[in-house]
Amino acid sequence: MILFWSIAGALGAAVLVLVLRPLLVPRGAGAVSRRAANIAIHRDQLRELDADLAVGKIAPQEHDKARRELEARLLEDVDAAPETAAAPRGARGAAALIGLAVPLAALGIYFAVGTPNAVSLRPEQPPVSVHEFEGMVARLAARLRENPDDDEGWKMLGRSYAVLGQLPKALEAYAEAARRAPRDAQLLADFADALALSRGRSLQGEPEKLVLRALQIEPGNLKALALAGTAAFERRDYRTAADYWQRMLPLVPPDSEDARDIRANVAEAVKLAGGAAPAPAPAAAAPAATALRGTVRISPELKGKFGPEDMVFIYARAAEGPAMPLAVLRRRARELPVEFALDDSMAMAPGMTLSAHPRVVITARVSKSGGATPQPGDLQGASGPVANDASSVAVLIDREVR
């Protein structure tokens, strides 16, 4: 995408130089117009700004604001800059107008009738780097300081900090979100999970209280049921653990890997409790949010090239649009092959949700460093473009990052 815009910008600049030269430089003059140089500089900045928007480095609101500032500064520079060659005043004004209007008109026509995303249809788009992601998170945090009543923004900020491993900041963001949305069950479950991680993965005490509050609000919340069962198991209340986990079964596909794992956990808890299994829970309605499900496997040729504790990142990106992940899931390599489910609750930024993009690409990567940025030696694979609610996506990790 960047290469495309760079080439297009260079060709556009070359055409404009040829078109504007008679207007900017009087016959026989060899000096360069300082005003024309200012226009060229601002035009380059405008192209860079549009390229940043195209690859998802900046939000549309930030792009509009920065573009207005560039255009205002351009008008000031065109007014103030003296000419080294004495071109006629009318010709200079026409050149400035053409230099600004032509690229803007071309961009407008292209985005109206062209296919801006055509160069982004290939599955292997470069992932967002940690530095770029941290910049997005910093901009989200800055926006929330100006608009602190955005509870969705606080939730996303909490998830983003959790992905970055910045648990103290994640807890602060979750606390702000919970204060503004005290009856959001998914938020309370996410808050409890992060709080448990910060306490050595223990759910006892405040994390369990948050989980039980989530279940009072939404008895069928899958994550809250899983955490409640784990908390009970931690304190050796195996029968209660089995009961919570049994209630998860109607919420997942019966033949899925998730269902098999849950049944195994229930059986283990029942065995430790020394009694019969709890009665099957009544069927519950599945969550209404868009969910994408599939399986990640690793090529037999790569099975000896990772450790059981290596981190596996599974994430969805828009097939046509910014490269920023729409949903991210982490697993351990020892779990491969692993069945996954991605949904809007895993979004990393406002508006960048799975349900907002009809076609997505699923990428899975075994990270040797545990970080989100691809490193040489990592193992990676990707699906082709699929529907955002597909139920049997197959991802094969089949290549090594060089």
pLDDT at 276: 56
Are the CB atoms for 341 and 73 separated by under 8 Å? Answer: no
Rounded to whole angstroms, the Cα distance separating 315 from 274 reads: 40
Rounded to whole angstroms, the Cα distance separating 155 from 176 reads: 8
pLDDT at 286: 41
Clarify whether residues 236 and 315 are in a common domain: no
- In the chain, count of helices (H) and strands (E)? 12, 9
In a domain, 109, yes or no: yes
Name 297's Cβ contacts closer than 8 Å, sequence gap at least 6. 336, 337, 394, 395, 396, 397
CATH code, domain carrying 204: 1.25.40.10
Clarify whether residues 167 and 242 are in a common domain: yes
Q: Tokens 């699929």, residue?
A: 386
Query: Which of 52, 84, 116 is at the close of a domain?
Result: 116
Range(s) of the domain holding residue 200? 130-273
Question: 60-80 and 34-54 helices cross at what angle (nearest 10)?
Answer: 180
In a domain, 281, yes or no: no
Query: Which of 219, 245, 273 is at the close of a domain?
Result: 273
pLDDT at 137: 81
Query: Which of 62, 82, 116 is at the close of a domain?
Result: 116
Clarify whether residues 170 and 229 are in a common domain: yes
| Lookup: tokens for 245 | 């986990």
| Lookup: tokens for 384 | 């082709």
Rounded to whole angstroms, the Cα distance separating 227 from 190 reads: 10
Clarify whether residues 136 and 112 are in a common domain: no
User: Residues of 266-277 as b/e, b for ≥16 C-beta within 10 angstroms?
Assistant: beebbeebeeeb
Clarify whether residues 153 and 31 are in a common domain: no
In a domain, 279, yes or no: no
- CA 27 to centroid of chain Cα atoms: 54
Clarify whether residues 199 and 312 are in a common domain: no
In a domain, 284, yes or no: no
pLDDT at 184: 87
In a domain, 234, yes or no: yes
Q: Tokens 């069927």, residue?
A: 283
| Lookup: tokens for 221 | 């919340």
pLDDT at 6: 57
pLDDT at 362: 93
pLDDT at 127: 55
In a domain, 123, yes or no: no
The count of domains in the chain is 3
Cis peptide before 374 (omega within 30 of 0): no
In a domain, 354, yes or no: yes
Clarify whether residues 24 and 76 are in a common domain: yes
Rounded to whole angstroms, the Cα distance separating 230 from 238 reads: 9
Clarify whether residues 159 and 81 are in a common domain: no
Clarify whether residues 97 and 226 are in a common domain: no
Are the CB atoms for 357 and 372 separated by under 8 Å? Answer: no
Clarify whether residues 264 and 143 are in a common domain: yes
In a domain, 286, yes or no: no
**Over its length of 402 residues, how does the chain's per-residue pLDDT go in tens digits?**
555 555 556 555 555 555 555 545 444 444 445 555 555 565 666 666 666 655 556 666 666 667 667 665 655 554 444 444 444 444 455 455 445 555 554 555 454 445 455 444 444 455 556 677 777 888 888 888 888 888 888 888 888 888 777 889 989 999 988 888 888 888 899 999 989 988 888 899 999 999 999 998 888 888 899 999 999 999 999 989 999 998 888 887 877 788 888 888 988 888 888 865 555 544 444 444 558 999 999 998 988 888 888 889 899 988 887 777 888 888 888 889 989 989 887 776 666 788 888 899 999 999 888 776 778 889 999 999 999 889 889 999 999 988
Rounded to whole angstroms, the Cα distance separating 234 from 240 reads: 11
pLDDT at 356: 83
Clarify whether residues 255 and 148 are in a common domain: yes
Please count the residues of the chain.
402
pLDDT at 54: 59
DSSP collapsed to 3 states, 202-224: CCCCHHHHHHHHHHHHCCCCHHH
Are the CB atoms for 24 and 98 separated by under 8 Å? Answer: no
Half-sphere exposure of 117 (CA within 13 A, CB side): 11
CATH code, domain carrying 303: 2.60.40
Clarify whether residues 262 and 325 are in a common domain: no
